[in-house]
């Protein structure tokens, strides 16, 4: 089982290569496809999912959940030429949503995840309904002011957290 640090490093290497593609969206897509980089994210996603399921340390499992939920949401929010995520296995995305539902219902979350989920849900909640539904989500994020979410990048360190960290650091 890979560590959170190893997964973040893997993500950053893939993201650097994705950003190296140039030209129109179609040209970038062709370059990324030829390079095989689109095949990396299903494996990264699966490794995070394994950590959520099997990590002995609850804080590691929670961090892995944050990252895998972000990747599921991000895959449907931006073009694959920007994210590097062409396709994720539907059964795995559904499992992530079930694990998220279980974490919320079981109180195995924190305020950072709550704020993140409020943001994702407010921007593009489709993934939580289509692959869920995450029944507890609306109530879980209902009273999170988006001003709190806006302050998240200033109140947390996002270095070394893969694409989740890049997104929240530059949002």
Q: How far apart are CA 171 and CA 166, in angstroms?
A: 8
Q: Return the number of other C-beta atoms located less than 10 Å from residue 54's C-beta.
A: 11
Q: Which residue has the tokens 């302050």?
A: 151
pLDDT digits (tens, 9 = 90+) for 45-55: 999 999 999 99
The pLDDT score that the predictor gives to residue 153 is 75
Place 62 in a pLDDT band, splitting at 50, 70 and 90: very high
pLDDT digits (tens, 9 = 90+) for 26-45: 999 999 999 999 999 999 99
Length in residues, the chain: 171
- DSSP for residue 38: G
CB 81 within 8 A of CB 34: no
Q: For residue 141, report the phi and psi dihedrals to the nearest 5 degrees.
A: -105, 0
Beta carbons within 8 Å of 58's beta carbon, 6+ residues apart: 108
pTM of the model: 0.95
List pLDDT tens digits, range 118-168. 999 999 999 999 998 899 999 999 999 888 788 787 767 899 999 999 999
């Amino acid at each position: 089982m890979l560590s959170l640090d190893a997964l973040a490093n893997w993500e950053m290497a893939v993201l650097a290569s994705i950003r190296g593609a140039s030209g129109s969206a179609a040209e970038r897509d062709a370059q990324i496809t030829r390079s095989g980089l689109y095949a990396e994210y299903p494996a990264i996603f699966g490794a995070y999912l394994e950590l959520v399921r099997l990590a002995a340390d609850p804080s590691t499992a929670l961090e892995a959940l944050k990252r895998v939920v972000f990747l599921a949401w991000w895959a449907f929010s931006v073009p694959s030429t920007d994210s590097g995520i062409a396709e994720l296995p539907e059964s795995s995305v559904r499992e992530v949503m079930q694990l998220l539902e279980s974490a919320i219902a079981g109180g195995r979350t924190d305020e950072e995840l709550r704020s993140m989920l409020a943001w994702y849900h407010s921007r593009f909640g489709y993934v939580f309904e289509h692959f869920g539904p995450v029944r507890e989500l609306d109530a879980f994020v209902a009273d999170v002011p988006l001003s709190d979410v806006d302050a998240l990048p200033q109140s947390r360190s996002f270095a070394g957290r893969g694409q989740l960290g890049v997104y929240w650091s530059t949002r």
